[in-house]
Structure 1
Amino acid sequence: MTSRRITTLGAAFALSALLGPGAALAAAAPSPAGSIAPPSVTAAAPQASGIPVFTDSHGLRLVPEDTQVHSPTDFTLTVTTPQVSGKHRIRILLPSAYGAGTDPDRRWPVTYFLHGGGGTVDDVAAAPALRSDSMITVVPDGGLKGWYADWVMQNTAEGAANWQTFHLSQVVPFIDANLRTRTDRAHRAVVGLSMGGFGALHYAEARPDLFGHVAALSGGIDFGMWQVRAAVLATELNVTGAWCASTTSGSAGSGRCTGYGPIVDSDAIFGSPYPVFGADRVWNAVDPAAPANLARLSGTAITLYTGNNDVIDVHTAAASHTVKGRLDRLGIPSRLVDYGNGTSLSPSCNGGHNYGCWAPALADYVPRLEGAFAAAG
């Protein structure tokens, strides 16, 4: 019987078909947003650094010696959990007034920002709008190819990989336990781009009780598209391509992706991608574009952004329009911004899969989100 798994060569062929001949150039070229190196950091104990004191909670154990302090309102914690192997960082941006002492009982809305494939928590440096004085921004590690999922296979080179459980059952309550947050859904948002665009929409559907607002930028949000499934397979097999080209986390802040980590089985994350005798049932169950999943977003504020001017965003545009059309048919309000070649969005945007477009898209979105938080009381 022929194996239904995809070899590394097969995934490379699939990704080549997905991306076209420009993929190698896209992977080698710096982002139009420019190369942004993560700011220098120093390790410090919270008590000596001016940042809030955090304690272990909800299965997360702090690694205090690995705390990185950029400023009293911008710092990175390191935690461990049995749910995901290894150490994992959580970058936190606080409003400037959080620790000012003028209103010590004030509680703040929270936005969770989910980075893309091949990225890290430091990618938030490329999106200045997320440094808001009206909300807390939390950027949890999503892995180079975590795909914001509890993996089907837990015995790969990655080890334990329950990313969804880590984020939704541990990180969110850990943040609420340690910071002065507004804990109702009207004051909590999840926002992501590329791989994180899938994560944002999937998390909003999986836990509508947690998130009242969701935004997906250039997201892989339609698992019914073979192009999106091929991109997931490419990350499993570390076939570096343009889905991973635009990140601030590359070597020395090069703006280039350094890869997706160790090769794992092509069925590791969502199981078999092939629609044969129900083999792809996990893909279908978590598909953000599935009408049954979209129906769970009734009462959620939904925003989608995409360009359509490179070998990746031509597919994220198709996925975004599919999702928008299905939401319309379900009678669920949503906002889609297809900025095409980027000229309608910003001079830095070429309509492609990069922070030259995502940063101005977030600059458009965040004030709207801040307004919605304020209107919720």
Structure 2
Amino acid sequence: MHYAQRHPGLFSQVATLSGANEFSRNHAVMRAAVVATLTNIGAPLCGTSSPTCSLNFGPTVSSDAVFGTPYPLFNLDWRWNEADPVAHMDVLARAGTGVTIYTGNGGGNPAEPEFWVQSASQHAKERLDALEYPRTTWTTATAPAGARTATAATTTAAGHRTSWTTSRDSKRHSRRRSRRTLPLPGADETSGGRPPCRPLTPG
């Protein structure tokens, strides 16, 4: 979203999938997570026996490498605040860019990273709602750690809601999905809940 905000009008649609959507000092946990990735702070915890350790983010760079110093002293972190997607949702709204936000919620467990991702994404959605921007789609999934089933729900700015459940069979490793969709405006029974198609006309 940050790139689209820097270049308004270049994209007609943007999407964020479990993205770090808030860089300001108002969401210190998300900023700290980005800094931890840059500095590869978790690598020493992995040791040498686990080359695929999830805490090893690869080569280490300075915490200042992306937006300058991330530490909120004497406003030296102003570049992080300027790059904060939540603070600039109005740019996307003025450009008429469609915004789609996907996130899990870590099963409501603060120990799960997705818990904080959902918090930042929620702030982005709240900002768009405050602008009364209609081209917004919000999807959040609930799945406790280790769960075999996830339940997700999608809500558009117009209030249309879709919910579904996805489960994974531990023996056959297959996925089963059940879906319930509320009709969209202009839909009829023969269209399967979708608005009727309109024929294209030569330009």
- TM-score class, shorter-chain normalisation, is 0.5 to 0.7
1:223 corresponds to: 23
Q: Which of 116, 119, 123 is 1:322 aligned to?
A: 123
State whether residues 297 and 332 of structure 1, in contact with CA within 8 Å, keep that contact through their aligned partners in structure 2: no
Whether 1:346 aligns to 2:147 is no
Q: For residue 258 of structure 1, report the CA deviation from its aligned partner.
A: 7.7
Give a deviation string over 1:102-140, Cα, whole Å, max 9, x none: xxxxxxxxxxxxxxxxxxxxxxxxxxxxxxxxxxxxxxx
Amino acid at match of 1:297: L
1:1-377 equivalence runs, <5 A: 201-224=1-24, 225-240=27-42, 257=54, 259-290=56-87, 293-298=88-93, 299-309=96-106, 311-333=112-134, 334-341=136-143, 342-344=150-152, 345-348=165-168
Q: CA deviation at 1:321?
A: 0.9
Counterpart contact for 1:214–1:301, Cα < 8 Å: yes
Closer, same or farther: CA 258–313 of 1 in aligned 2, 3 Å: closer
Q: Gapped runs of 5+ residues in structure 1?
A: 1-200, 242-249, 349-359, 361-374
- Give the distance between the partners of 2:142 and 2:82, measured in 1 at CA: 30
RMSD: 2.6
Aligned-residue offset at 1:219: 0.9
Distance 2:127 2:55 in 1: 36
**1:347 partner SS:** strand
Question: Does the 8 A contact of 2:9 with 2:97 survive in 1?
Answer: no
**Structure in which a larger fraction of residues adopt strand:** 2
SS at 1:274 equivalent:
coil
Amino acid in structure 2 at the alignment position of 1:343: T
SS of 1:337's partner is strand
Greater relative CO, 1 or 2 (CA 8 Å, sep 6+): 1
Give the deviation of 1:339 after TM superposition: 1.6
| 1:33-82 CA-partner distances (Å, limit 9, x unpaired) | xxxxxxxxxxxxxxxxxxxxxxxxxxxxxxxxxxxxxxxxxxxxxxxxxx
Equivalences, count: 138
For residues 13-33 of structure 1, give each alpha carbon's deviation from its aligned partner in whole angstroms, at most 9, with x where no partner exists: xxxxxxxxxxxxxxxxxxxxx
Structure 1 residues 328 and 277: CA distance shift in structure 2, 3 A: same
Q: Distance in 2 between matches of 1:267 and 1:279?
A: 11
Counterpart of 2:90 in structure 1: which amino acid? A
Provide the secondary structure at the position in 1 that maps to 2:9: coil
* Percentage of identical aligned residues: 40
Give the deviation of 1:257 after TM superposition. Answer: 4.5
Mapped contact 1:306–1:340 kept (Cα < 8 A): no
Which residue is equivalent to 2:158?
Answer: none
Deviation at 1:262, TM superposition (A): 2.4
Contact kept in structure 2, 1:218 and 1:306, CA below 8 Å: yes
Do the aligned partners of 1:216 and 1:303 also contact (CA within 8 Å) in 2?
Answer: yes
Alpha-carbon contact 1:320-1:336 (below 8 Å) kept: no
Question: Structure 1 counterpart of 2:120, which letter?
Answer: A
After superposition, the C-alpha distances for 1:200-229 in whole angstroms (9 at most, x for unaligned) are x11121112221111111111011311111
Which residue in the other structure is 1:160 paired with? none
Q: Tell me, which stretches of 5 or more residues in structure 2 are unaligned?
A: 44-49, 144-149, 153-164, 169-176, 178-199
**Letter of the structure 1 residue corresponding to residue 81 of structure 2:** N
2:101–2:138 contact (8 Å) kept in structure 1 = yes
Question: Which structure has the larger Rg?
Answer: 2
Q: Secondary structure at the residue paired with 1:270?
A: coil
Describe the SS at the equivalent of 1:343. Answer: strand
SS of equivalent residue, structure 2 residue 106: coil
The 8 Å contact of residues 40 and 58 in structure 2, kept in 1 or not, is answered as yes
Partner deviation per Cα, 1:211-267 (whole Å, 9 max, x = no partner):
1111111111011311111111111211248xxxxxxxx97xx7x648333222222
